[in-house]
Amino acid sequence: MTNHSHQEQNQDRPDSRLSFFGAITASISHELNNVISIIDQTNGLLEDLVAANESEITMTSDRLASIASGIQKQTERGLTIIKRLNRFAHSSDFPVTEYNPGEILENLCAICQRLADMKRVKLIFKSAPDSDRVTGNPFLLQQTVFEIIRAFLNIAQKDNEIAVEYLTAENQPTIIISGPSPETEWSDSDTAGVSMGIAELGAELDIAYNPDISRFRIILPQNPGNTQA
């Protein structure tokens, strides 16, 4: 690779990473905003009922318990979102580290759930319980898998399914992402972000296309010489 092409790639990197980070944090902040809105309105409802109780409406203990349960539910929802965001943010701490791709990708899929819900698409994650740990860049892996999920979401129709699976196949840590196919085979522009991530991960990518379903198979290096290191 020439210095020139290195320069071009470096110029591309911040935009794609920021775009990934922006898409994730925008979705999470919207969901947190909803949680806060619900707690805020439930608190307002409680104030309404207290005020009304002094006049005509009787506030029963069941009603009070139901409201408290609603606040508890939203608090737990908010804490789960924050925990997932925190895990996502810390995945960028080290460019090379030992990690479990299954755990990282489960978290990514949970974060992407809202994006899938917006398109009424089912996003599922599967991982073998004893899946291999690898050494590499977990943030870059998430970005690469996210680019594939995003490519699927861009063409998905209501009730389509996108599945992300982490497994060990032929002794190699492997990620399979399947989803709906475009009308014609995937173009380079559809998968530009994916190819760049694959190269940086030192991974292999195989795309299987048929008119109904496409499968992206990523084979991670066992002991990668991550080019980002």
Binding site for other proteins (CB under 8 A): 26, 29-30, 33-34, 36-38, 40-42, 44-45, 48, 52, 57, 70, 73-74, 117-120, 158
Compute the least distance from the CB of residue 158 to other proteins, in Å.
6
Q: How far apart are CA 8 and CA 61, in angstroms?
A: 65
Answer whether 128's CB lies under 8 Å from 168's CB.
Answer: yes
Q: Which is nearer to other proteins, 114 or 215 (CB)?
A: 114
Query: Could you tell me the smallest distance in angstroms from the CB atom of residue 73 to other proteins?
Result: 8
| Residue (8 or 117) nearer to other proteins, CB | 117
Give 182's DSSP letter.
P
CB of 30 to other proteins, least distance (A): 5
How deeply is 175 buried, as exposed, middle or buried, from its count of CB atoms within 10 A (0-12, 13-18, 19+)? buried
Q: How far is the CB of 180 from other proteins (least distance, A)?
A: 16
- 111 vs 140, which CB is nearer to other proteins? 111
Beta strands in the chain (DSSP E): 97-99, 122-127, 134-136, 161-169, 172-180, 204-209, 213-219
Which of 52, 208 has the CB closer to other proteins?
52
